Amino acid sequence: MIRKRFLLIFFVMALTGCVQPALKSTNVASNELISSEVTAEKNLTHVYIMSPSPNNESYDLYFGTTKIARLDKGQAVHLKLFPNNAAYKLTIKDVLYGPSRDIQTVVKTTKPGKVSYWVIDSHYSYWKPVHPKIAPIDGQQGAQTLKNYTLVKPLATEATIAFAGISSIQEDRDACINGNQPDKCLKLQSELSANLIPAAVAEKVSQIQEQAEQQQKLDALEAKLPANVRRDKYMVQLSQFLKQQNYKAALDVFPKLEGLPIATDPSLKYFYGEALLKTNQPAKAMQKLYQYINEQGTGSTHYAQALEMINQAESKL
């Protein structure tokens, strides 16, 4: 006995500027209606996965290891994903027959404002299973077909689903939350719509903003200090950083000292060049070291060391 053909249809739809057909809603689904009056969240692609299920099969849908939906006959699920060729590993599991009937593919999202429809066509019989295939279908046909499906709620939050299987975004999230990398937090904030920013990332961003505001106030107070007091303060900082070989932190202090309207230590440009060389910036290091020699001459304290560092920097260009 040969089982009938079944189709699993995805619709990958970027909603920006796109009119969507109304969907039926039931007590299983939210009362969500997709129409021309509903605009897409910033930077999102909207994906609809639909199951005709002619033999009344039920399917569990996964992105990676995250279960995103259970679809019965005539049901669809609406997912909000990252656009621009974000690749989601989709596994469709037949609830009744188990792993032998699993379908695996990759859903790649489109650019915002673009609309694409995809169909997975699987043929199974007990004697001759055929590997499922995926192919695009006409947009108008997809829009018409969508009207016949009932929308069910996803089984995970929007943020969980959007992040599932997207390794680069997961890495940025982990770097923000666990790695104390503010730039990764701000990157996520700029790329994600507000409702998809994980709570821990949003909290980190809030902390960063508060710290920035506090630092602005401190900088304003510091700017009111006499120039000679600021010079002494910066030199103490710089000495500590250089003693600890924290050259990256030291690079933040040098411009402050150079920007003062009073004389600074004659060896400042030498140590500036050293810090640049230690942080793998040979061209900039050579510039500072040349300035040091030109200003202080061949009899300067660090003349010989400056020449050695110039040669080291030159070899790295």
Q: Are 154 and 68 in contact (CB under 8 A)?
A: yes
Task: Report whether pLDDT(206) > 80.
Answer: yes
Domains of the chain with bracketed CATH: 6-163 (no CATH), 167-223 (no CATH), 227-316 (1.25.40)
Number of Cα atoms under 13 Å in the Cβ half of residue 280: 0
Task: Report whether pLDDT(58) > 90.
Answer: no
Read off the pLDDT of each residue in 188-213 and give the average, rounded to a whole number: 78
- At 293 the pLDDT is 96
Q: Are 130 and 119 in contact (CB under 8 A)?
A: no
Q: Output the average pLDDT for the chain.
A: 78
Read off the pLDDT of each residue in 281-303 and give the average, rounded to a whole number: 95
How distant, in Å, are the alpha carbons of 3, 6, 105 from that of 132? 15, 10, 9
Task: Report whether pLDDT(244) > 90.
Answer: yes
Q: Are 271 and 237 in contact (CB under 8 A)?
A: no
- At 117 the pLDDT is 67
Categorize the per-residue pLDDT at 1 as very low, low, confident or very high, splitting at 50, 70 and 90: very low
Q: Are strands 66-71 and 24-25 parallel, antiparallel or unpaired?
A: unpaired
Least confident of 8-17, 67-76, 234-243, 303-312: 8-17
Cβ burial of 271 (10 Å; 0-12, 13-18, 19+) is: buried
